[in-house]
Chains A and B, each alone.
Chain A
Amino acid sequence: MDEELLNEFLTESNENLASIEQQLMDLEENPADMDLLDSIFRVVHTVKGSCGFLGLVGLQKTAHAGENLLGKIRSSKFLVDDKIVSLLLECTDGIKALLEGLESEGVEPDLDHSDLIEQLYLAERMVEESSNGSKAKSLESVEEVEQNLDWLGDVDESVLTALKDAGLLTAEQMIRAGFATLRNMDALSPADALKVLGVAKQHLKRQASSPDVEHQPQDKTEAEVTEPQAKKEDNVEKAKATPPEIPATPAPIPPAKKATAAVKKVVKSDHKQRPKSAGSIRVDIELLDSLMNQVGELVLTRNRLMQMMASSGNMTYVRVSRDVDHITEQLQAQLLRTRMQPIQSVWSNIPRIVRDMGKQLNKKITVVMEGEETELDRTILNALKDPLTHIIRNSCDHGIEMPDERRNVGKPAEGTLKLSAAQESGFIVILIEDDGAGIDAARVKTKAVTMGVLTEEQAAIISDKAVLQLIFHAGLSTAQTVSNLSGRGVGMDVVRTEIEKVGGSVDISSERGQGTTLRIRIPLTLAIISAMIIGCEGHRFAIPQMSVRELLNAPRDSSEWRLIGGQPFYRLRGKLLPVMRLKEVLEFTKDVINEGSIVVVDIGDRTYGVLVDEIFGAEEIVVKPLGVHFQQTRFYGGCSILGDGVVIPIFDCNELASLMKLSQEAEALQHLEEEEEISMHELQHTLVFAEGGQRFAIPMALIERLECFPEKNIEQAGSSEVLQYRDDVIAVLRWSSLIDVHRDIEADESVYGLILSDGYKYLCLQVEEVIDILEIPLDIKMASDNPLFLGTSVIEGIATEVVDVFEVVKKVDADWFSRNKSTASQEEEISPTILFVEDATFFRNLVIPVLDALGYESWVAKDGLEACSILENKTPDLILTDLEMPNMDGYALVDWVKGRPELSDMPVVALTATPIDEIPLERQRKFRDVMIKFDRQTLNEGLERIMGEIKKNAPVRVEGEVISSAVTEGA
């Protein structure tokens, strides 16, 4: 036996065992699924067989006991219950523990599983007894074939055939043939070969001790076995050294020890390495951490080098430093990747937790997972493990109701726990949703008041959403009874602390009777974060981008300033934003003028503004810890070193908020209610930029990133200009040339680039100056003759041309949107039709080209009423509708459609600007799907999916002309 074999064994076993837990749970669901049982049996059997050959006694014992039980279940067609499944799960846990030890130590760990083995044995007896009398009968036809080799136990048919074809009919012959021969047989994987050898070996031993039990097989031919003579001798030698079958007496232990010692020796003499799973190596995480730090330093040094080289004016230097730049970037990116692991690695044990919880609580819970492949930094993953487990336990325990209760309120008896993970611009968002009872905000409030967390006055004005966040407050638990699983009132605060420790945030939303959703937002990696660099009294500070929602320009004379109880507020879209004057809280000065820029910080349960003097822009920074002196000043989350070598403190926005007095905020909340709210209708993020003294607005929908780089980064490629962006070269379009403004730009001058993307393609739109990103209603006051513009809107009192992104993109790539139209056959098909109901011209213009590009024919209605009148005459394949509309809104429309028998099957999809989780679930359910307006990708995919679903029963379509004449006219 050699290291290679051990490696093979570990790899195979780990792969096999990875799926077994799930399979066992599936078996619990469908105990009659014989295929599933077979497959589980095979895994355990393979492990047992192989370790017999490798001399791994403890492992073999455990696996053997499991195999016996499984074998008995299989042969007697016993229907497993949850107790047996629990036992089998324990058995696989035991096997895994042994394998882990083996992998890390190189020798079998000393673990005592005798209790488990005893239990497995008892279960086996139980199964046997219950099936006595109804002995399973095997299929007659196969009987004969199987006869000769059935001592091999469960191996694939193909393996049996191959062995027979090779004339290897007895255990002796197989051992004589040796591993090499078996392994070279096409039908046998190395693991099969191992298994066959192991079993053969045991079989011989058994025959030796009780020769009368097994009949001697007929010797037919030995012809094929002559070739690899030398090798097989060798193997037989080795096979002899392996221990015999393990009758549970102390007798065979000495040989077993010898064998393990042999394993160790081989390992030591061959290489210094321990056996590992193939294809990857283990690296100490500390090594990676220190590499990461060094690369961080390299990035900083690189920045300095770049500055020096650029100022030297020597082109050779500049070129070399550019190479350094590029390599550093790649090095950094790749090193980050080495630390990434799929979130699956922490999720994998969740089904098991939920199952065990369900059993204990007598609840039925299914787990649904989405986005398991999402990758995260391993440090973060590890930190997430406990909070996740806690949240899951909470959901099972308190969230999901007992089956009877659920049935009474018309929900399926089985509760669902849904986990999903997705990447969202540098962050991972993890949602944990249950469809349980939800949280009673009123109860939380009462509790909070009793516990003194909230005063009566605060309780009177606090919003339900804010109340729910109190769940994370230490000492609050609304569970009526304290179970041994969760609900001791400690926990959610720990969950929050743990998540915040890795730079994440968590918030909770819940609807009575509908369920609870926890939303965890965490950075992809800890080591490097994107931060907004701000200035205050000549000091620079970094605010993690994660917490920054938007930036506002707040001049002294702005009419939006309010002073309530000494606390400044800034009125932002009808809401009062409490503003922390950084100068004041950092005690730079007492007399602060309300003037400067406001960084709007969102920390989950609340939003506040930080008034600063200056905003320098976003930068990727390497986070370094602060020393022992800053333990009390918790609003510093760490520090970093900027490109110029200066240390910069990083704020921890959660802690920073505590510098602002809460009572004032609560007091102010009261006033907030008094402020009349402007309609939040159709607000959208819009970027305003200037070129040649004129202002332009462009919706953020297609803008992936804002870049600022030196003009000289734009390179000439043929007749067009390009920019290196990430690992790609993307086309650069100059806004100035599109609107015929001429401007000379120095090579060293910094220019702004809006990186436009639809997920596959990128384009850089170079503009002169970025003014602001605003969340505003885009009311187009005046249509434009220029196809580049949708029209003119008034933004902050200034007439601003609203750019039609689609026209701009077409300038560069006329086929930008047509990547989905590739097959010729598609042209022959009649294009599916969509009735698109949208009141805002702007969105019509945004969505229609997408629909066109996807090959849909679109009919357009301005509101629900218009849609109804179209539907009375014609039937589209799908209705895509806005929710908020004058005359007749999306909800009324869908009700109308559902009320028409001929349209009852019509899929109606909502397209909305409101975050989906703010729409009540019962309203969402009216629609086939609810999609977010700004997300082109989701729209594309969602429509394609729904169209695919309805294509099967394609309705008879009335031919209709496109009613889209009103496209560019004012809303």
Chain B
Amino acid sequence: MNALVHVKNKPSRSDLELLTCRVGEQWIGLHVKQVREVVTGHVRTVMPLAPSSVMGLINLRGRVLTELDVRKVVGLPAREPDASFHVAIIESSSGEDFGLAVDDVGEVMLMDRDYYESTPSSLDPVWRQVSEGVLKQDNRVLVLMNVDRFIALTIPSLEGNVQNPAAVH
């Protein structure tokens, strides 16, 4: 496991700092203060019959975290078996930490309020549910992700019926 991005605390500006990640074709922004680190190449334990969003459990220095697949939640097709991905370790307001599997990690950027817009209705419905707003950049639209809302979406009782387990063997 390598920590790709060490997020430094810049107390004054961290509220405005975003970590950009890509899921499929969509770029999302996570609040840096909620991201502990980004790891890759973890051994994961698949949990049979777990909610479909759950990729498995990982051991992060003795702590067991639930790893969630963002692709699955937003309804994208499963990743190629050997495709690499990154896991952002995020903090939720409940105190539990989760791993969010994303296809790629971009950079830490300062949020420019001038480019901030409320969530457009044209956005995919799932993204709309977890979006706090979007940032329009030159060639892309960055969805500001509300982590807590995203987590809530993945929990079975709120998700509705438990679908088939993520069959990663």
Contact = CB atoms under 8 A, between A and B. Distances in A.
B106 interface: no
A709 interface: no
Given A297-B62, A647-B57, A648-B45, A630 B169 contact: no
A641 B48 contact: no
B157 interface: yes
Contacts of A300: 62
B165 A647 contact: no
B169 A641 contact: no
Given A628-B94, A628-B96, A649 B59 contact: no
Given A538-B169, A647-B64, A629 B43 contact: no
Contacts of A647: 44-45, 56-59, 64
A587 interface: yes
B43 A632 contact: no
Contact of B156 (A624, A631, A641, A649): A631
A631 B157 contact: yes
Contacts of A588: 48, 169
Given A538-B169, A627-B98, A639-B64, A587 B57 contact: no
A632 B162 contact: yes
B158 to A, nearest CB: 10
B19 to A, nearest CB: 22
Given A537-B169, A647-B57, A630 B62 contact: no
A737 interface: no
Interface string B43-59: 11111111101101111
Nearest to B154: A629
A641 B59 contact: yes
B65 interface: yes
A632 B47 CA distance: 13
A484 to B, nearest CB: 37
A88 B70 CA distance: 66
B131 interface: no
Contacts of B162: 632
Interface size on A, as a range, is 20 to 34
Contact of A646 (B59, B154, B157): B59
A645 B59 contact: yes
A631 B65 CA distance: 15
B64 A624 contact: yes
A636 B68 CA distance: 18
B26 interface: no
Interface string A637-679: 0010100011111000000000000000000000000000000
Interface string A289-319: 0000000010011000000000000000000
Interface in B137-163: 151, 154-157, 162
A917 B51 CA distance: 44
Interface string B64-77: 11101000000000
B129 interface: no
A656 to B, nearest CB: 11
B98 to A, nearest CB: 7
A628 B50 contact: no
Nearest to B56: A647
A636 B54 CA distance: 14
Nearest to B65: A627
Contacts of B151: 628
Interface string B24-62: 000000000000000000011111111101101111001
Contacts of B49: 586-587, 633, 635
A639 B57 CA distance: 9
A624 B61 CA distance: 13
A632 B157 contact: yes
B53 A646 contact: no
Contacts of B48: 539, 586-588
B58 A629 contact: no
A632 B156 contact: yes
A442 B119 CA distance: 65
B49 to A, nearest CB: 6
A627 B66 contact: yes
Contacts of A539: 45-46, 48
A646 B50 contact: no
23 contacts: A539-B45, A539-B46, A586-B48, A627-B64, A627-B98, A629-B53, A629-B66, A629-B154, A629-B156, A630-B50, A631-B157, A632-B156, A632-B162, A633-B51, A641-B59, A641-B62, A641-B64, A645-B43, A647-B44, A647-B45, A647-B59, A647-B64, A649-B47
Interface of A: 297, 300-301, 537-539, 586-588, 624, 626-633, 635-636, 639, 641, 645-649
